[in-house]
A = this chain, B = another copy of it.
Amino acid sequence: MSDAHEHRGIFPVRRVEAFADGVFAIAATLLILDVVATGSPLSEELIRIWPSYAAYVVTFVLIGVAWVNHGTLLGLVDKTDRTFLILNIFLLTTIAFLPFPTRLLAAHLLDEDAEAATLAYGLTLLVTSLLFNALWFYGVLRRGLLSPDVDEHVVQGISRSYVPGPFIFIGASAVALVSPLVSAAIFTLATFFYLVESSLFARR
């Protein structure tokens, strides 16, 4: 197959960056539409809806971390091909889907629908992390899109940090069936762990 070669120069990485930057930034910024305060009096309502704030902050940071990872990945690639573009569109489809389960979590974390809401949130993250792995291991590494000057340690650091994602999210989703609040706490911890300690940031 020579897709990669054929595309070279026609569809530059720079354009993929621009579209992806847009989708990540818009998906993150749309999250605020999920924060709604219609109860009365407002002072009590603003305290009552704390799950909305938590869901907003955690998901915004999570999209921010995902954007940094995606941007790092694009920075290591110097051409695109058909498979890469297809996997990338599906990844962006799940990123842009996140405002929906976040809205469910914000609205239902404390009511009888908490289990379904947390499960929907967890499964979306599971699909997101599976597509990140597919884009990296199959779309980039297997198909040879990596720039020739990329340090092998950087590649290994990214690979190591991508593998646990699906397991964390499938685990946290399973916990949702027992305790939605504990599941939500795991999502929060995982997000801040990835933000602060992950080798995604530290090993480069």
Q: Which residue of B lies closest to A58 (CB)?
A: B93
Are A32 and B97 in touch, CB under 8 angstroms?
Answer: yes
CB of A31 within 8 Å of the partner chain? yes
Query: Interface-forming stretch among A14-22, A129-137, A166-174, A182-190?
Result: A14-22
Quick one: CB contact mask for A67-102 with B, threshold 8 Å, 1 for yes? 110011001100000100110011011001111100
Cβ of B21 and Cβ of A116 under 8 Å apart?
no
Is A7 located at the chain interface by the 8 A CB criterion?
Answer: yes
- Measured between alpha carbons, how far is A25 from B6 in the docked complex, in Å? 25
**Complex A-B: 6 CB contacts under 8 Å:** A6-B203, A18-B21, A31-B96, A33-B33, A41-B112, A60-B92
Given A22-B29, A27-B29, 10 other A-B contacts at CB below 8 A? A7-B204, A10-B76, A15-B75, A17-B18, A29-B30, A30-B30, A31-B96, A41-B112, A56-B93, A65-B89
